[in-house]
Structure formats: C-alpha cells, structure tokens
Amino acid sequence: MKITINNREYDMPENISILEAVKKANIKIPTLCYMEGKEPYGGCRLCVVEVEGSKTLVPSCAVKISEGMKIKTHSEKVRKVRKTIMQLIVASHGISCELNCLTCPKATSCELKTIAEEIG
C-alpha cells in the first residue's frame, strides 16, 4: 500500500495504524499510552498527525493507513497542538505529585519528563 509521510512516498503493509507506519519509516511520534500488541486506547492524544482531507488532527495509534494517504507528522499545526496537550497532561500530573523533576527519584527514567522536554 502506497502512502506519503512528510512528502516522501512509502510502501507499507495493509492493516497497520498510521503510528506503526510512521515507526516503520523511522520517524518518531511521541506517545504515552500506546503499548505494542495492545488494543490502542487513544487516550493521551500526543500522537496526533495531520492527514490530508481530514478536518481535524487524527490520533495516529487508532487510525489505519489507507491507499494514497498523505500524512504530516511534525507540521507547525501538529507541534502546536501536541504542546498544548502536553501542557494539559503536565498540569494534571502536578495535582498528584510535586512535579519537581529536579528532586524526583523517577527523573532518570520518566517517560513524561523525556517527552515533555522533546516537545518543549
């Protein structure tokens, strides 16, 4: 199946999600709730991407690729929305902990901290 990711064409197997296709293309999309082999939950929404023809951003873990699909993984719109989503996640995370990464014992292995830093 032919799809386009960030203006480059790829041949992908059928019946895989956009997120799986993007991974096969060696492009990294942030996710917090995706677990390989498990039914996608689509809860964190960090993996949203732009799909040509779609009015809204789509959660890449929960949507399968289709022939001719054109995907943008890091457009300005996507990065802006991801940053807002991450701000909301961090804000609600702060309710349940001190949110002080400098003193937190989990800081060296915290996925939330790592992705938040990557997103900026």
Minimum distance from CB of 105 to ligand SF4 (Å)?
8
Question: Residue type at 78?
Answer: V
97 lies in the site for ligand SF4, by CB under 6 A: yes
List the beta strands (DSSP E) in 1-120: 2-5, 8-11, 48-51, 58-59, 70-72
Residue closer to ligand SF4 (CB basis): 56 or 100? 100
88 lies in the site for ligand SF4, by CB under 6 A: no
By CB under 6 A, the count of residues binding ligand SF4 is 11
Minimum distance from CB of 2 to ligand SF4 (Å)?
40
Residue closer to ligand SF4 (CB basis): 7 or 108? 108
CA dist 17 and 20 (Å) reads 5
Residue closer to ligand SF4 (CB basis): 1 or 119? 119
| Of 5-13, 29-37, 46-54, 106-114: span binding ligand SF4 (CB under 6 A) | 106-114
CA distances from 40 to 22, 33, 51, 59 (A): 15, 8, 18, 10
Q: Is 51 within 8 Å of 58 (Cβ atoms)? A: yes
Q: Is 29 within 8 Å of 86 (Cβ atoms)? A: no
Residues that bind ligand SF4 (CB under 6 A): 93, 97, 99-101, 104, 106-107, 110, 112-113
